[in-house]
Amino acid sequence: MAKPSVISPIRHKVTRRFYEPLLLLHALSPIRGERIKSEILPDNSESNHIQLRRSFTNAIAYICAYQKGPDHVTAAALEKTSQGVVVWLSANASVEEGVVTFLEEILACVYRVVEQDSVEALHQEASLATQKLASMIVEFQAPRLTVYRAEIIKSFILPCQELMTDYVKSNGSRERDKSALEVNKLQQWLKKYFGDDTGGSTEPSLFDLSKACYDVRHTQYMKTISMFAGQGRTRHEAFERLYKLLGKLGKPLKSSKTLTEAATKLAQDFAQGFTVKTVPSSVPQPLPFRGKKEATIESIVHRMFSDPSKKTEFMDRLTSLVSREGEEMDSFLQRERATKTKVHAELLLIDHFERNSYNFLGQGEKYIGCSKPACYLCHMYITQHLSRYTIPASHNKVYVGWRPPDVYVREPSASTLLRVQERILLRMINLVREDLTSEIKSRNMRLPYHTDSTTGITTTLESMRLAQTDTPSIAYSGDLERSTPSLLELNEDAELMTSEDEDDQGGVSI
């Protein structure tokens, strides 16, 4: 049954109390803190199964987000039914029919592993499926992977190679200088897959490139890049971004491995097969302000701060951060006011499961996987939800173009649903106001920009031991040798450098 098309609005008094401090908070600093990591489960067999279900769900969400951009941010959830597992998908924009078709092919391949009737046959099929899935995912994600490769070639090969060349020249003459040797080996590897320091590309296939980036995750190459990415080092940000992009390029192979590992260890969960279904995206709506006069700095600050000294304190803090005053600041606010709001992908799924009282797969854990960490408001909404959903990782950025799940006019229990939404929003209002108060009193500058994914570079040159990890050998003339193990020989415990691998722009574009 199709939903009614008319959205029943939450009381204006509530929405205005929510969006006004949110706009001011965004004006002060849209990044609300360091990234929040996902929950770390204890190391036991039950927790391992829970983590594997989560990883499987995240892999599905990642695979389906085949293009960069906020519209393609995708969420997934696994429903347990008597007919098997229903894989629910949602996206910030509509889930395309081609995405559903592709995922059905992926899950059919996974199910062929599950249905094997002996341990030997299961592991043999898993090996074949891992290779096949890797190829399928790389091909499907070509739009995204091509962008990552182009970014490396255009923006990072030249500055990184230049700095490494200088390093080798300064240190390579020293007797038995291992660090210079390792840097030179890294240069040769980068040249093979991304061209030389002039930016020229050798253009290996996307699959070969993705596999190479996956294979080197735990080699000396990545430790050497980490060395140059240490804080305070020349062009450390370029090396940090290079490190991250290499992880993103290798993620399709990690995802294929996650899917088949789940098939072998969660065969009972998947024994009846999969069905793919989608949840419709939300319709863009304007921010709930009734007129231009209601959304000026003066009017918002006047309504929020009855104490004149508090108003002055806020304006002083705002001016110190954004260097805007008077009409210029109101123009800024009017631009924000023009933002269209949407319900983010993970909240669409939460709302869908709540309305239909669906059961999650796996001992009732309410887990929503997403192709990127939650934004500041989604994380807050899920944390405050009465149904106790698993708290996701978050990149902690404010997106003004956010709204809670919609309630529709004349739908059953509309008044009850609105009361629930208002209750959650009222809790969020208090948290946003507390954050705004803390920000006003803070004497810190704005937090530096960080991407939405959760990769961190923590190693520095002083803490590196360049000879601890084996480096794939490289020939210095002629063809480069194949020196890394095949996909199926890789370490079972290997993890990607990027725990969440998505765009720099999350949520809904604003």
Task: Report the length, in residues, of the chain.
Answer: 510
Instruction: Specify the pLDDT at position 98.
Output: 97
The distance in angstroms from the start CA to the end CA of the chain is 32
Residues 6+ apart with CB under 8 A from 256: 129, 130, 131, 133, 134, 136, 137, 487
The pTM assigned to this predicted structure is 0.84
Q: Backbone phi, then psi, for 474, in 5-degree steps?
A: -130, 130
Q: Is the pLDDT of residue 454 over 80?
A: no
Residues 6+ apart with CB under 8 A from 414: 8, 407, 408
pLDDT in tens, 18-31: 998 898 888 888 88
Distance CA 72, CA 507 (A): 10
- Specify the amino acid at residue 160: C
Distance CA 271, CA 143 (A): 33
Instruction: Compare 118 and 203 and report the one with higher pLDDT.
Output: 118
pLDDT, mean of residues 393-418: 89
Q: Backbone phi, then psi, for 285, in 5-degree steps?
A: -130, 150
Contact 75, 348 (CB under 8 A): yes
Which pLDDT band, with edges at 50, 70 and 90, does 6 fall under? Answer: confident
- Return mean pLDDT, the chain: 82
Ranked by mean pLDDT, the top range of 85-89, 222-226, 358-362, 448-452 is 85-89
Q: Is the pLDDT of residue 494 over 50?
A: no
| Segments in 6-156 forming alpha helices (H) | 12-28, 45-64, 97-114, 119-140, 142-151
- Specify the amino acid at residue 170: S
pLDDT, mean of residues 58-79: 96
391 three-state secondary structure: coil
Which pLDDT band, with edges at 50, 70 and 90, does 16 fall under? Answer: confident
Which pLDDT band, with edges at 50, 70 and 90, does 322 fall under? Answer: low
- Beta-bridged to residue 87, according to DSSP, are 78, 276
Instruction: Compare 385 and 473 and report the one with higher pLDDT.
Output: 385
Q: Is the pLDDT of residue 376 over 90?
A: yes
Which pLDDT band, with edges at 50, 70 and 90, does 190 fall under? Answer: very high
Instruction: Specify the pLDDT at position 202.
Output: 60
